[in-house]
A and B are shown apart, each in its own frame.
Chain A
Amino acid sequence: EVQLLESGGGLVQPGGSLRLSCAASGFTFSSYAMTWVRQAPGKGLEWVSLISGSGGSTYYADSVKGRFTTSRDNSKNTVYLQMNSLRAEDTAVYYCAKARVVGAVADHHDYWGQGSLVTVSS
């Protein structure tokens, strides 16, 4: 059974940093790209970042480029989202999601984690 479990969310002051983790199980982790998607309170889904299965390719939304970094440790079946210079508008539930197609980089997502709430406030 595929499982994705996010952790690391919480309350952080503007300008601060936070690192989210997403631990995966139930599939060959290194064969699948992983994505971070966020949802601000009462708002729609916003794609944040994408990392290929090998970790060699990463892509970011313009809204987070230069501030957020996604990485993965395939030996630990975990993908990370390092968030720096956080702003109030980064407040959201952050989901990690798995690509459906093995080897694909840009792909839709067949499994999602439960989400981790990040609140940026003083």
Chain B
Amino acid sequence: DIQMTQSPSSLSASVGDRVTITCRASQGISNYLAWYQQKPGKVPKLLIYAASTLQSGVPSRFSGSGSGTDFTLTISSLQPEDVATYYCQKYIGAPLTFGGGTKVEIK
């Protein structure tokens, strides 16, 4: 099975900073990669699919890139409401494995 590895596992940044989260697949998955945001105590929310397509209603400060095995989620200007844990997920086929998550906090 394909493994999904996220880094870092946590980060702390200032409001307005550019934040980058990495997700690496153990085998190529083309662009079958989604990103989710889970705020504390809340349900996961789809941010990006097909590696770089923004889900409707998601702020444009979020962006995704990558293909094959290496992917990134970027928040161009971190806002207080972006405090959350972010997960990548591959969906090229079952199992639909999630990465371990990256917890983003405000410094």
Contact = CB atoms under 8 A, between A and B. Distances in A.
A and B interact: yes
Given A112-B43, A114-B43, A106 B101 contact: no
Q: Is the interface of A mostly helix, strand, loop or mixed?
A: strand
Contacts of B97: 47
Given A106-B92, A108-B49, A108-B89, A44 B44 contact: no
A55 interface: no
Interface in B83-107: 85, 87, 89, 91-101
Given A108-B34, A108-B49, A108-B89, A95 B94 contact: no
Contacts, number: 58
B46 interface: yes
Contacts of B95: 47, 59, 61-62
A88 interface: no
Contacts of B34: 108-109
Given A44-B87, A112-B43, A113-B43, A106 B55 contact: no
B71 interface: no
A2 B97 CA distance: 24
